Structure 1
Amino acid sequence: MNWLKKLTGQITGKKEKINNAGVGSATPSDVSAPNDAHPPADAGPELTLREGTPEFNLIVASTELETGANLAHGASHLAVLLEVDPGRADWQALAARYLDAAGDDVDALLPVGDERFVNSEALRAWFWQRQGKTPEALDLLLQISRAAGHATYLHAWALDWLEQDGALARIGETSMMQLLATALNSVEEAHQSSAGTVRDMGRWASLAERASAGYAPSPTLLLVRAGLQRKAGNVDAALAITGPIGQAASAEQANAIGLLLRCMRRFDESEQAFIHAGSFDPADITPKLEAGDTCFEAGNWHKALFWYEAVLASESEQAWALPSSWYCRYKLDGDEAWMERLWEAMRKGDNRAHLLVFRERGRLAQSHDAGANLLRTLLERWRENGNTDDSGGAMAISATVMEAPSNRLAFALELAGRNPPVKLEITFGPLPAVDPRLALAPVDYPLWAYEGTVPHPALPAPDAAVRDAIAALALAPYNPNENWAAASHVAARFGTRHVRDILAAMVYPPPLPQDVRALEWLPRVQLAAAYVLGQIDSGWEGSERRRALVSVLFGPMDWTTCAAIRVLARIATTEPACATDIMRLFARMERHIPEVGHWDWVTLLYEQWLELPFLFDAEREELRRKLAAREEDE
Structure 2
Amino acid sequence: MGHADDEGDERLAAEGEVAVARLAIDSGDLPHAADHLADAILADPQLPELHEALAELSAAAGGPAAARELFPLDGQVYLGTVACRAHVEAAAGDWDTAVGLLASAIQYEPARPWAHTAWLAREDLPALVDPDAVAQAVARATGGLPDPLPTELADAVQPFEDFVQAVVARHGDHALLLAMASGLTRRLGATDRAVELAELAHLLAPGYLPSVMLGNALRAHGRPERALAVWEAELARVEPERDNSSSYLAVDVAELYGALGRPADGLPWLDRVLATEPDHPKAAPARYGLLHAVDGDPAHLLALADHHRAHPDHEYAQDLLERLSHREPWLGMVSGATEATVNVLHQVLAAPGTTRDSEIECSASAVEPPSSLLAVRLALPRATVDYRSVAEPDPRLPLAEPTTPIWSWDGTDPRPAVAPPAPDSAELVRDTAEIVWATVPAAYDHAVRLAGLPLDDLLGTLVHPPTPREDDLGRALLAHQPELWVRAVQVFACLGIAHHRTDQPWEGSDRRRVLVDLLLGPEDWVVEAAGFALVAIGWTHPETRADIADRLRQRLHYSARAHRTRVVTVLRSLAALALTAPWLPPADLDLARRLIERAKAREAREAREAAEAGEPGGARATEKAAEREPATEEQPEPRPGLLRRLFRRA
TM-score by length of 2: 0.46
Higher Rg of the two aligned structures: 2
Query: TM-score, with normalisation over the residues of structure 1?
Result: 0.47
Larger RCO: 1 or 2 (CA < 8 Å, sep 6+): 1
